[in-house]
Amino acid sequence: MFLDDEHPDISLSDWDAFKRWGSPYLIEEILDRNSANLPDWFVPLARGAATPSRYLLRDAGYSRRYCRPSDWRKDPDNGSLYRAVYNECMIVTPCGPLWRIEREGTSYRPHRNINHPLAHVFGPTPILARNVQAAICLVEYYFLNGVPAGLTWAQGCPDDLRGAIEYAKQRCINEAVMAASFSSASCFSSRSE
């Protein structure tokens, strides 16, 4: 079994409850991992991601008229935008139609190039913005002012990255097998009645 304090294994029933009861002050929509287009290596045990609520965006100063500040630069290799501040870096990265919101990782962990995503503390569950302007507004505000209760700058990946990815894949297979066996058992019992 895979263990990491900052990357807990959230049960499927807890994830389903979180999807139903997630905070409307922080989250607009909760997406499963495939819908969010999360790469395997990015917070590998996260069951999905969330989009920020209008309240959270308004708190950060975002509106439709928000324009990207001119000191943001584009990384030609992956399409990310970044801005250095105080010897650190704020980063927004395309993730399908959404944008990951991150700050530069620290060098004391084995994966030095993995950043810290803005995330809900449950899981942690990464926060993905619907457009680049919202992502930049959120990262700039919460990088400089600290995150509100319920959010954190999470570790992008655990120390044992390969182990976490394999564990997440096996967990998915096990849950699919359990769902299929439960479904076929339900069908069988209803036919025999």
Q: CA-CA distances (angstroms) from residue 176 to 153, 180, 183?
A: 31, 6, 10
The residue that leads in pLDDT, 4 or 15, is 15
Instruction: Count how many domains the chain has.
Output: 1
pLDDT value, residue 76:
84
Q: Where are the beta strands (DSSP E) in the chain?
A: 27-32, 48-52, 73-74, 81-85, 88-95, 98-103, 116-120, 125-126, 128-129, 151-153
Report residue 13: phi and psi, to 5°. Answer: -70, -40
- Assess whether pLDDT exceeds 70 at residue 187: no
Residue 2 maps to a domain: no
Residues 65-124: pLDDT tens digits?
887 788 899 988 888 899 988 778 899 999 999 999 999 865 444 445 568 999 999 989
- pTM for this prediction: 0.82
pLDDT computed for residue 64 by the predictor: 82
Does residue 36 lie in a domain region?
yes
Which domain covers residue 39, as residue numbers? 12-192
Residue 174 lies in a domain: yes
Neighbours of 187 (CB within 10 A): 10
Is residue 42 scored above 50 in pLDDT? yes
pLDDT at 188 over 90: no
Of residues 32 and 183, which shows the higher confidence score?
32
Do the domain assignments include residue 37?
Answer: yes
The pLDDT of residue 110 is 45
- Within 10 A of 41 (CB to CB), how many other CB atoms are there? 14
Coil/strand/helix, residue 47: coil
Question: Helices marked H in 10-95 — which ranges?
Answer: 12-21, 54-59
- Is residue 7, in this structure, part of any structural domain at all? no
User: What pLDDT score does 149 carry?
Assistant: 92
For the chain, give the percent of residues with pLDDT over 90: 40
